[in-house]
Chain A
Amino acid sequence: MPLLEVENLTVTLATNRGPGDAVRNVAFALDRGETLGLVGESGCGKSITALALMSLLPERARIAGSIRLDGRELTTLGEDQLCGLRGDRMAMIFQEPMTSLNPVQTIGRQVAEPLILHKGMTRAAARERALDLLDRVGLPNPAARLDQFPHQLSGGQRQRVMIAMALACDPDLLIADEPTTALDVTIQGQILDLILDLVEERGMALLLISHDLGVIAETTQRMMVMYGGSVVEAGPTAEVFARMAHPYTRGLFAARPKLGPATETPLATIAGVVPELADLPPGCPFANRCPLMIPPCNDGLPPPLPMGPDHISRCIRARELVASA
């Protein structure tokens, strides 16, 4: 039995323009030691998926489907039981290290809190352990940092503190929501390496969320491409990059900035914008921006087409697309 099993996950949010499905029929499984990437542009439902896994959705969101952690159904658990799981069995790293730490609490206290909360440690023991954790995540001079406040740290250092907090209780599942997006490029690699090392060292399952295909390619074994709330393509990362079977994946790949001398050609873009939740098209969510659109695309959400071992694409022209390339 895999650690995390998600089946038919659908999240409906109340938007200004009526209810809209932010996540539609997402299904995947993730086991200890595995790394899964979730990629897509802003508003595609990546973060909502992560929040749904942690049961931290906004008040008026409705959730359907099933999320099981070690066989235990999370969607029907009460808040008290969820509080016992969050931070202990599953933990999350957020995008904005600058705002994810409480400005009026010391670093040491914030890293020690989950240990006191979940492991029943004394303040002194938790502080001791917090020091080890800060040392492990590579925070320079950790002993002095314990009594400092977040504003005295740089962005990269704060993200290390966030990682230490998330890892404090040795969770089985780590969700990293754009952990490097707010950081300098030079720091990004270090933080990703740190997360990967820790995942390997502790045998955790990692769900890495990013809009950056490069990050996904470097860090994950399997990946899912999300668009308009649906997983439009999924498979082993190497396989997906070798044979991209969805026009959206290809669009994302073509739109990534490339290193090298400046050229006359502007960055490639995908025409159009992400549709609003409340008015997602009835068929393929990507249809209105897709260069390969044909009338049947609007007939309904395309079913997952097998493209290779574990590789699926929700595009009715996926076979043509792969063959033409």
Chain B
Amino acid sequence: MTVAATPSAAPGFAARALRHPSFVAGAVLTGLIVLMALVSYVWTPHPPLEMTVSQRLKPPSEAWWLGTDAFGRDVASLIMAGARNSILVGVVAVGIGMTAGVAFGLYASAKRGWTEEIVMRLSDFVFAFPAILSAVMLTALAGAGTANSIIAIGIFNVPVFARITRAAANSVWAREFVLAARAAGKGGFRITVEHVLPNIVSILVVQATIQFAIAILAEAALSYLGLGTRPPDPSWGRMLNEAQAHIFRSPTLAVFPGIAIALSVLGLNLLGDGLRDLIDPRLARKR
């Protein structure tokens, strides 16, 4: 479970990464999605929210690359702008979950005993609610919207990170160099910050990639249910929802956002798997 090195510190990491097929495929796919989101700030084929009423539900053509939706908006532009939304939700939700979860996990691992037991049972409790359910509960209380869906997905991520952090941190705490650090007079906080955290960073990076993919999926699901991003902000999940009414007349309306979601989730998972292989401790030691 423990990893000897952080990925960036490893010379030869780049060379090994380039030879790793799933890492390369994942990085390319993820890179494309990010690029799409960035480009959408300065250029899209049409303004994403512009409705051309005369051009409703058009099939893909030279003027409308991926066709138009029921309001006459350009699907290609909406998908590009929707990537921003997915990335925003992913980054913030995983950020929340990781910050809180890692803090809880490290604390539990440093304190052990009852503290550990309480933190872990609490995270089991939160974990017992599926992300969608907790999001539905939260939006029922606080109303639908991007911010609330981010918070809901973030909360769901907290126990995921708390568990993996605690497990990894416990294995670091059991190692001799931690005993040596304690013998040198270091307290629990210093050992956590200086010895435990640096030794589990790589595990957390891998997990963050995978949670990112799950967050994108969860955001799409929430928006599809009408609990996430509100109109008119473009969102892949809501595009799927809106496509439903016209599924027989314009099936491509559902296909393209679906492909966008599938490719970004696939890309992130491949990236996560690749990273996991690449920072395998046995290889990382050779840095």
A interface residues (Cβ-Cβ under 8 A, vs B): 54, 56, 59, 79-80, 83-88, 91-92, 94, 96, 99-105, 113-114, 117-118, 151, 162, 165-166
Contact = CB atoms under 8 A, between A and B. Distances in A.
B5 interface: yes
B5 A86 contact: no
A94 B5 contact: no
B180 A54 contact: no
B41 to A, nearest CB: 37
B117 to A, nearest CB: 13
Contact of A100 (B4, B113, B180): B180
A126 to B, nearest CB: 13
Interface in B158-213: 175-177, 179-187, 190, 194-195, 198-199
B112 interface: yes
Interface in B42-68: none
B5 A118 contact: no
Given A94-B179, A96-B176, A165-B180, A103 B185 contact: no
A103 B172 CA distance: 11
A54 B183 CA distance: 7
B9 interface: yes
A103 B4 contact: yes
A56 B183 contact: yes
Contacts of A113: 181, 184, 186, 194
A84 B195 contact: no
B183 A151 contact: no
Contacts, number: 79
A84 B185 contact: yes
B187 A79 contact: yes
A36 B185 CA distance: 23
Contacts of B187: 79-80, 83
Mostly helix, strand, loop or mixed at chain B's interface?
helix
B285 interface: yes
Interface string B100-128: 00000000000011000000000000000
Contacts of B180: 92, 94, 100-101, 162, 165
B195 A102 contact: yes
B177 A86 contact: no
A86 B199 contact: no
B6 interface: yes
Nearest to B6: A104
B185 A83 contact: yes
Contacts of B176: 94, 96, 99-100
B247 to A, nearest CB: 53
Contacts of A118: 185
Contacts of A151: 4, 285, 287
Nearest to A98: B176
Contacts of B199: 102-104
A59 B177 contact: no
A91 B9 contact: no
A87 B184 contact: yes
Given A103-B5, A105-B198, A151-B285, A85 B185 contact: yes
Nearest to A162: B180
A113 B195 CA distance: 12
A199 to B, nearest CB: 17
Contact of B177 (A80, A87, A102, A166): A102
B6 A117 contact: no
